[in-house]
Amino acid sequence: MADESQKWVLMVTAQTPTNIAVIKYWGKRDENLILAINDSISVTLDPAHLCTTTTVAVSPAFNQDRMWLNGKEISLSGGRYQNCLWEIRACANDVEDEKKGIRITKKDWENLHVHVTSYNNFPTAAGLASSAAVYSLAKLMNVQEDNGRQGSGSACRSLYGGFVKWVMGKEENGSDSIAVPLVDEKHWDELVIIIAVVCSRQKETSSTSGMRETVETSALIEHRAKEVVPKRIIQMEEAIQKRDFATFTHLTCADSNQFHAVCLDTSPPIFYMNDTSHRIIGCVEKWNRSEGTPQVAYTFDAGPNAVLIARNRTSAALLLQRLLFHFPPNSETDLNSYVIGDKSLMEDIGIQDIKGIEALPPPPEIKDKVLAQKYKGEISYFICTRPGRGPVLISDDSQALLHPDTGLPK
Ligand code: DP6
């Protein structure tokens, strides 16, 4: 390694997407290695609307590991971050930057500290899982086989764009538990995704402890993992290949509902969805039924937010109209921050202001006035997006979030 007195800083910046499962991962067969009890399939969301930019830096001048999230320093004393850092360090290899005259050997990593800073381009309340830091650290430390699972199992599916399968694997050491790209984001580019971020003050059970309790106490989870999911995985892969939206919707909704059913079958029961989530399901089910062919699929993770996947732009616009009719914003909310991401959908439906929302007629499938109820303020905001690409490294240092001389946030 270069002389300790030399205060060089070596950095890597990456942009990583998030993903949403259409066949859910819930339950581990190995807690330490993060190995799942069933395969899962997800769609990667367009990083233009939802992504995490992370810069990681290493320098002999750093005297401790430090981390900043959206500009605020967070404590690294929690076990998870530390374990995660040590796991990646253990896989580090020699790194050489000829231009800067830096050489770090595999052994040096044990004594070097890192700075990590991440910034989300979406409001963090969305609570969508992302483990961008691991990807960037693996690149910085020249980790050869980054399985992407450190920190969070579902994160490994964000290593690719489009639709991705996380194969649970059979090996005890997890060597065959890997993410596999199924189709890239261009394969089914008609799909439009709307995320309804639901207002909730409730602190949710973390996925890690939730799934542990389910595996320990639910009798249904074994049936799900052994009998139901393997068949669904085959059917889902075929539906994706053929762009068969009806089958895709049927499987996606059924799997989300079964995931929440095993949560309810856990002792004590875990409730992730709330009344607003249930109202959204009701609205989508009613509309799909009235159309005869499904227009939109819904799926919910470990929280009340709805992820709605529309078959195309036309159905996405009709969906947004329905959502805005039932869930108008509070009077103090600015429309510009109520529908974010790809705002062009708002132009499609010709809504420019709150008055436009108030003037929306009830959806035609609703005959009963009581069902045409409005639930003002139950949704924080909507994010409009689509399937997107996998992570990318950003070579332009001016886009780094850490200062190249000090390794501190800019
Ligand atoms: C409901 O990946 O957050 O989103 O591996 O314990 O960190 P850990 O859990 P995590 O679980 C995600 C669960 C889910 C379904 C899914 O994404 O497949």
User: Does the Cβ of 84 fall within 6 Å of ligand 1?
Assistant: no
Q: Is the CB of 27 under 6 A from ligand 1?
A: no
CA distance 143 to 150: 12
Asked if the structure places residue 163 within a domain, the reply is: yes
If asked whether residues 332 and 225 sit together in one domain, one would say: yes
Q: Are residues 60 and 134 in the same domain?
A: yes
Percentage of the chain exceeding pLDDT 90: 73
323 lines ligand 1 (CB under 6 A): no
* 23 and 132 inside one domain: yes
CA of 320 to the centre of ligand 1 (A): 27
pLDDT in tens, 221-276: 999 999 999 999 999 999 999 999 999 999 999 999 999 999 999 999 999 999 99
Pocket test for ligand 1, best of 18, 25, 43 (most atoms within 8 A of CB): 25
- The pLDDT tens digits for 47-57 are 999 888 999 99
Q: The tokens of 177 are what?
A: 């538990």
pLDDT digits (tens, 9 = 90+) for 94-105: 999 998 889 999
Closest-lying ligand 1 atom to the alpha carbon of residue 25 = 18
Number of domains in the chain: 2
- CA angle, corner 370, sides to 364 and 376, nearest 5? 90
For ligand 1, is residue 34 a contact (CB within 6 Å)? yes
Q: Is 180 part of a structural domain of the chain?
A: yes
150-162: pLDDT as tens digits: 668 898 899 999 9
Which residues span the domain enclosing 324?
192-385
- Whether 197 and 334 map to the same domain: the answer is yes
Based on the fold, state whether residues 200 and 135 are members of the same structural domain. no
pLDDT of residue 360: 93
CATH code where residue 212 lies: 3.30.70.890
Q: Residues 96-133: pLDDT tens digits? A: 999 888 999 999 999 999 999 988 887 664 445 446 77
| Mean pLDDT of all residues in 275-280 | 96
Asked whether residue 105 falls in the same domain as residue 212, the answer is: no
In tens, the pLDDT along 323-356 reads 999 999 998 888 999 999 999 999 999 998 889 9
311 token code pair = 């078959």
* CA gap 222, 228 in Å, rounded: 9
Identify whether residues 174 and 138 lie together within a single domain: yes
| 122 inside domain | yes
In whole angstroms, what is the distance from residue 323 CA to residue 273 CA?
17
Residue 1 in domain:
no
On whether residue 404 sits in a domain, the answer given is no
- Closest Cα to atom 4, ligand 1: which residue? 301
pLDDT of res. 76: 81
CB atoms within 10 A of CB 107: 10
Sign of the torsion formed by the C-alpha atoms of 227, 228, 229 and 230: positive
- Residue 302 Cβ < 6 Å to ligand 1: yes
Residue 153 CB–ligand 1 contact under 6 Å = yes
CB burial of residue 296 (10 Å; 0-12, 13-18, 19+): buried
Q: What ipTM did this prediction achieve?
A: 0.99
pLDDT at res. 126: 47
Please work out, in degrees rounded to the nearest 5, the angle formed at the alpha carbon of residue 409 by the alpha carbons of 5 and 145.
75
Extended beta strands in 290-378, E state: 296-300, 306-310, 339-341
CA neighbor of 408 nearest in space, from 103, 62, 100: 62
pLDDT score recorded for residue 127: 47
157: Cβ below 6 Å to ligand 1? no
Q: Could you tell me if 315 and 358 lie in one domain?
A: yes
Centre of ligand 1 from the C-alpha of residue 324, in Å = 29
User: Does residue 94 sit within a domain?
Assistant: yes
In 3D space, the residue among 393, 25, 49 whose CA is nearest the CA of residue 179 turns out to be 25
Torsion angle of the four alpha carbons 121, 162, 155, 134, in this order, in degrees rounded to the nearest 10: -70
Examine the domain organization and report whether 167 and 300 are in the same domain. Answer: no
Q: 332 and 354 in one domain? A: yes
**Of all atoms in ligand 1, which is nearest to the CA of residue 302?**
1
pLDDT band at 64 (very low <50, low <70, confident <90, very high): very high
Q: Is 213 in the pocket of ligand 1 (CB under 6 A)?
A: no
